[in-house]
Amino acid sequence: AQTVTQSQPEMSVQEAETVTLSCTYDTSESDYYLFWYKQPPSRQMILVIRQEAYKQQNATENRFSVNFQKAAKSFSLKISDSQLGDAAMYFCAYRSGGSQGNLIFGKGTKLSVKP
């Protein structure tokens, strides 16, 4: 079975600085997807970024980028120029490829942004 591990329950960053959230996963599959979701205090689940396992290039979405290390099964999220609105819970997620893939979440990292 696949597992997703986020080893940092809480992180803190100064506004305008850069922070990296860690995520590791375990799988024997070759076809899968990885995601980072953000959950602000409103508790809405918002997709931040996605990465296909077959792509070597790291995904980037504006200030958010990932460091995808397939061999190490690592998928970290880097937030540059942190803003107060980035304060939230961040969940790393794994999904098997194909049309029926399950979606598995890590336990989350609570990010605080200090002004």
Partner 1 sequence: DSGVTQTPKHLITATGQRVTLRCSPRSGDLSVYWYQQSLDQGLQFLIQYYNGEERAKGNILERFSAQQFPDLHSELNLSSLELGDSALYFCASSAQGGEAFFGQGTRLTVV
User: Could you tell me how far CA 81 lies from the centroid of its own chain?
Assistant: 17
CB nearer to partner 1: give 80 or 104: 104
Does residue 32 contact residue 96 with C-beta atoms inside 8 Å? yes
CB nearer to partner 1: give 84 or 103: 103
CB nearer to partner 1: give 16 or 103: 103
Does residue 104 contact residue 37 with C-beta atoms inside 8 Å? no
Does residue 75 contact residue 65 with C-beta atoms inside 8 Å? no
* 17-76: contacts with partner 1 (CB under 8 A): 33, 35, 37, 43-45, 47, 50
Structure letter (DSSP) for residue 58: P
Q: Which residue ranges make up the site for partner 1 (CB under 8 A)?
A: 33, 35, 37, 43-45, 47, 50, 91, 93, 95, 97-108
